[in-house]
Amino acid sequence: MASSLKKSITVVGGGSAGFLAAITLKARMPVLDVTVVHSSDIPIIGVGEGSTLTMPIYLHGYLGIDPTRFHKEVEPTYKLGIRFLWGPRERFHYTFSSQLDKFLPGMPRPNGYFAYEDFDYADVAGALAAHDKAFLKQKEGGGPVVNTDVAYHLENVPFVRFLEKYAAEIGIEIVDDRVDEVEQSEAGIKALHLESGRIQTADLFVDCSGFSSLLLGEALEESLQSFDSSLFCDRAVAGGWDREEETLLPYTTAETMNAGWAWQIEHDDHINRGYVYSSPFISDDEAEKEFREKNPKVKDTRIIKFSSGARKRTWVKNVVALGNSAGFVEPLEATALAVICDHAAKLIHCLADSYLEIDPTSRKYYNDYCWDTWENIRRFLAMHYKFNSRLDTKFWEAAQNDTDMSGAEEIMEYYEACGPATLWAGKAMGPNDPFSWEGYLVMLVGQKVPFRRSFQSTEAEKANWKRYHEDLKKTVSDALTMRESLDMIRSDQWGWHPDFYRSASRW
């Protein structure tokens, strides 16, 4: 039978994209012969990474990586969402749970209407974040109540080292070598000629070579479509410092800066900080100065240059690109790892459905799906810039006036006409949007984007909303900090139910 045929796949690149792709292919389809070609001479980009709730579910539910082992070896911290220092509010929290698109009992409209003026306590996760707490306590034993609507903060170096070690354990061949020449054929890539003299052939090549896009971009000349009309930022100054007395926070911070924004990612013993900015509006030296004035504890820094954009086809002939080889958008919503996971899962399903053949129909739909992902991320991030009125600088004036909404116009028409309604949200967004209507509402209500406001809440409804807030405050009053939670989760007494992540897997 065709499905029992052995097929060889070579992954080029050994970062998080390369090893996640390789592990996905081998773990989900063991019949495949999977090889990773990478050079240990090429350093890992050692920055902290945020993620979305996709990451734990994918690692532990879809790939079957033991969470106990992962926590002990990689030591991730948890992320409830993002604290935005953004727009006219002092702050608001974008969590991975439902805050604004749900109805409270007895309320005529969803929470988004009532949270427009008072957003801090729209759900439990938001209340926890407001108090810098991580998890509620279990009724018995006092341990953290961990659900699957949380993400990870990861330090890139130990994360990639773990993935490489795990890949070898499940039978993936790892070749430490550099690609010297790419030999092409009518089918795409015929062979890779490595510096050692080895000739690497495969039925399918997965390009995870980063921004260079060695196979898809350079060899097959698939061009990158720029998103710079929507996303103006093209550089980041990255740094950090060793944690001292600072609280280990349960969220990523996104803070408005003069010519962009700054992230803060929380690790056990280190705080990772960076300033994403637009070089036409601020020089590298000026960005460095502003960054250090805001963060006097920052030690060494480095400038990272990038372009936001994607390739319209990420599967061409016998080459599939994942990660930065396929596309990159700035890190504002920490989408990079989620996109790798989702597209790797779609790839393995395509191969299974077509009996391990490179089927043109599957390839077309895969490309359409991946491009839709990039376009949806682009329009969602554009909304962050278009409506952020926090600072009055040249950059933010340009963002408000000139940002290309790139397909979000229908979403805005619906919101402006109906407010934080939910009835036609699916129609306004279109299919396969990774952020859901909740995500759009958080960014619109969070930034207090106006809408036609014929609705006025009654005194009873106001009292109900206030009572809901007070109940949430009581609920989180004795919740656990991140440090307390991690100490328990990493202890030998903690155990994970085998189906905890598996039942949440969406692939």
Q: Are 315 and 201 in contact (CB under 8 A)?
A: no
pLDDT tens digits, residue range 336-355?
999 999 999 999 999 999 88
Determine the pLDDT at residue 503. Answer: 86
What is the secondary structure of 348-400 as a DSSP string?
A: HHHHHHTTTS--HHHHHHHHHHHHHHHHHHHHHHHHHHHT--S--SHHHHHHH
Determine the pLDDT at residue 1. Answer: 34
Instruction: Give me the mean pLDDT over the 265-288 stretch.
Output: 97
Residue 473 pLDDT grade (very low, low, confident, very high; cuts 50, 70, 90): very high
Instruction: List, in sequence order, every beta strand (DSSP E) within 20-116.
Output: 33-38, 48-50, 77-79, 81-85, 92-95
Q: Is the predicted pLDDT of residue 134 greater than 70, yes or no?
A: yes
Instruction: Give me the mean pLDDT over the 3-15 stretch.
Output: 81
Q: Are 59 and 65 in contact (CB under 8 A)?
A: yes
Q: Which residue has the higher pLDDT, 505 or 332?
A: 332
- Return the SS3 of 498: coil
What backbone phi and psi angles, to 5 degrees, belong to 368?
A: -60, -45
Cβ neighbours of residue 42 closer than 8 Å, sequence gap 6 or more:
none
CB-hemisphere CA count at 13 Å for 262?
Answer: 24
Determine the pLDDT at residue 485. Answer: 97
Instruction: Give me the mean pLDDT over the 441-445 stretch.
Output: 98
Determine the pLDDT at residue 388. Answer: 98
Instruction: Give the DSSP H or E segment for 155.
Output: strand 151-155
CB-hemisphere CA count at 13 Å for 61?
Answer: 18
Instruction: Give me the mean pLDDT over the 428-433 stretch.
Output: 91
3-state secondary structure 93-138: EEECCCCCCCCCCCCCCCHHHHHCCCCCCCCHHHHHHHCCCCECEC
Q: Which has the closest alpha carbon to 104: 119, 114, 95, 118?
A: 114
Determine the pLDDT at residue 314. Answer: 98
Determine the length of the chain: 507
Q: Is the predicted pLDDT of residue 46 greater than 80, yes or no?
A: no
Cα 263 to Cα 39, 251, 253, 418, distances in angstroms: 30, 11, 5, 33
Determine the pLDDT at residue 42. Answer: 78
Q: Is the predicted pLDDT of residue 190 greater than 80, yes or no?
A: yes
22-26, 29-33, 42-46, range with the lowest pLDDT: 42-46
Report the interhelical angle of 336-353 vs 16-28 (nearest 10°). Answer: 30
C-alpha gyration radius of the chain: 23
N-term to C-term CA, the chain: 25
Alpha-carbon distance of 342 to 344, in angstroms, equals 6
Instruction: Give me the mean pLDDT over the 173-197 stretch.
Output: 97
Report the interhelical angle of 156-169 vs 67-74 (nearest 10°). Answer: 130
Instruction: Give me the mean pLDDT over the 20-32 stretch.
Output: 97
Residue 2 pLDDT grade (very low, low, confident, very high; cuts 50, 70, 90): very low
Alpha-carbon distance of 341 to 507, in angstroms, equals 10
pLDDT tens digits, residue range 284-314?
999 999 999 999 999 999 999 999 999 999 9
The distance between the two most distant Cα atoms of the chain, rounded to a whole number of Å, is 78
3-state secondary structure 156-220: HHHHHHHHHHHHHHCCCEEEECCEEEEEEECCEEEEEEECCCCEECCCEEEECCHHHCHHHHHHC
- Return the SS3 of 504: helix
pLDDT tens digits, residue range 236-257?
999 999 999 999 999 999 999 9
- The domains of the chain are located at 2-77+153-226+308-375, 98-140+408-491
Instruction: Give me the mean pLDDT over the 460-477 stretch.
Output: 95
Say what percent of the chain tops pLDDT 70: 98
pLDDT tens digits, residue range 487-498?
999 999 999 998
CATH number among 3.40.50.620, 3.50.50.60, 3.40.190.10, 3.40.50.300, domain 2-77+153-226+308-375 = 3.50.50.60
Determine the pLDDT at residue 45. Answer: 65
Beta-sheet pairing, 252-257 with 81-85: parallel
Report the interhelical angle of 360-386 vs 336-353 (nearest 10°). Answer: 160
Residue 4 pLDDT grade (very low, low, confident, very high; cuts 50, 70, 90): very low
Q: Are 25 and 348 in contact (CB under 8 A)?
A: yes
Q: Which has the closest alpha carbon to 350: 23, 8, 29, 20?
A: 29
Determine the pLDDT at residue 141. Answer: 80
